[in-house]
Structure 1
Amino acid sequence: MDDIVRQAIAKWPNVPDCYGWLGLDARGNWYMRDDRVQALGPFAAAAGGSPASKGSRLQHEKLIDFIQRNYESDARGCWFFQNGPQRVYVELETTPFVWRVHPDLSVVAHSSEPAQVRTCVLDETGRVYLETNLGFGLVHTLDTGWAAEAVERALWMPQEIEAQALPARFGYVVSPQSLARKAG
């Protein structure tokens, strides 16, 4: 976490949390979701239900870097961006991390942080996930060939798990906004 963020938390400790305004998609892209977009529906498409309502894709590199440096999870498994004294909870399309796999089979998060693979998971649709020292995430669709290479070399041994069971199994919340509504 940035020092300036720590200082803001100390100066203003009681700023209310923000829900629904920021999303992370399955390709590691960040989206800003204003009131109008939120009213259109959830960030992630519901299985067999409503389509996704993502919002505006963030493209300002310094803003994205700031978000990614201050991206953490709370004790409930809800991921957030600590924006000064305010926690901005992140709606996830799939998982808290999106992994890029390089030709040497090294793994890097959407935030460019290197990660060490602990577990490989395969869901019923063939999507590949990795549990790492940083957390749990989906392998980027462009890198599934490299993931297959790691499996063929027996570096990763995929465990089959249904996609709906992943959040509970790996301790993350896809929609902190929905969780807050239920609690409130």
Structure 2
Amino acid sequence: MDEQVLRSLIKWPNVPDCYGWLALDRRGQWRMVDEYAQQHHLPGKPIDHAALNEFISRNYANDTAGRYFFQNGPQRVFITLAATPWVVRIIPSESSVQMMTQCHNQMTPSGALSDEQGNIYIVGSTQQTVFQDTENQQFAVKEMPAVALLHDHDLDHFSELATLREAACSFVGSWTWSGQLLPLDPIHSDELSQRFGYIQHPAPL
């Protein structure tokens, strides 16, 4: 969380929250959802400005209710999630392979899930910023459990790591990461948000 954002939040603590104007799509892109897009149920326009994307990523946080938001100075902009709060890519390097979220945080996987549409979700932990003290406007940065949609461009790479067999509505099996054999279990997409405690369409409490 940027220091200037924290200072502005303390200085102006009662700025109204914003809902519906910012979204995270299935490819980890931030999207601006203007009034026309909201009225016509459109996904909105991807934000192409590199500095703005970085600003959103640095100030991406969640509250204890499971709502994710962008702390834009003193204003909290709650984010509509197309799938999960995190989208990960498999990033190869010279010596290893990493999983990185849309906020450029490394994710440590402990398993994976496959849904009825063939999507793969990585289960593990990543560093997150949590708003936990409403009285003092305080955030904490923690390594926390997380679920992340695997970017569709990396599905082929994942399949090379996995041993699969068909189940009733999806796939089960195992996959290898950093020398460890990890489980791949089935899940229905409707179960994700409740199981992992996040809200796809935030609204005022």
Structure-1 separation of matches of 2:161 and 2:11: 47
Match of 1:30 in 2: 30
* Aligned mate of 2:125, from 130, 133, 140: 133
- Aligned partner of 2:102: which letter? H
Match of 1:12 in 2: 12
Give the percent of matched residue pairs that are identical in Structure 1 and Structure 2.
Answer: 38
Match of 1:63 in 2: 52
- Aligned partner of 2:107: which letter? A
Q: Is the partner of 1:166 in helix, strand or coil?
A: helix
Match of 1:144 in 2: 155
Task: Report Cα offsets for 1:87-128 as digits up to 9, x if no partner.
Answer: 100011111111001344421111221111122111112110
Q: Is the partner of 2:162 in helix, strand or coil?
A: helix
Aligned length in residues: 168
- RMSD, aligned CA: 1.4
Task: Report Cα offsets for 1:105-164 as digits up to 9, x if no partner.
Answer: 421111221111122111112110012212221000000122223334543311111000
Instruction: Name stretches of at least 5 consecutive residues in structure 2 with no aligned partner.
Output: 127-145, 164-174
* Aligned mate of 1:92, from 48, 64, 81: 81
* Structure 1 pair 147–93 and aligned structure 2 pair: CA distance change class (3 A): same
Structure-1 separation of matches of 2:161 and 2:183: 9
Structure-2 separation of matches of 1:65 and 1:118: 27
Match of 2:108 in 1: 116
Match of 1:175 in 2: 201
| Worse-matched range after superposition: 119-128 or 102-111 | 102-111
Tell me the CA shift for residue 76 of structure 1.
1.2
Q: Is the partner of 1:145 in helix, strand or coil?
A: helix
Instruction: Name stretches of at least 5 consecutive residues in structure 1 with no aligned partner.
Output: 42-52
Structure-2 separation of matches of 1:111 and 1:147: 21
Q: Going by fraction, where is strand more abundant, 1 or 2?
A: 2
Q: Is the partner of 1:38 in helix, strand or coil?
A: helix
Tell me the CA shift for residue 84 of structure 1.
0.6
Structure-2 separation of matches of 1:77 and 1:149: 33
**TM-score under structure 2 length normalisation:** 0.77
Which of 1 and 2 has greater Rg?
2
Indicate conservation of the 8 Å contact 1:32/1:57, yes or no.
Answer: yes
**TM-score under structure 1 length normalisation:** 0.86
Q: Is the partner of 1:157 in helix, strand or coil?
A: strand
Structure 1 stretches of 4+ with a deviation exceeding 3 A read 152-155
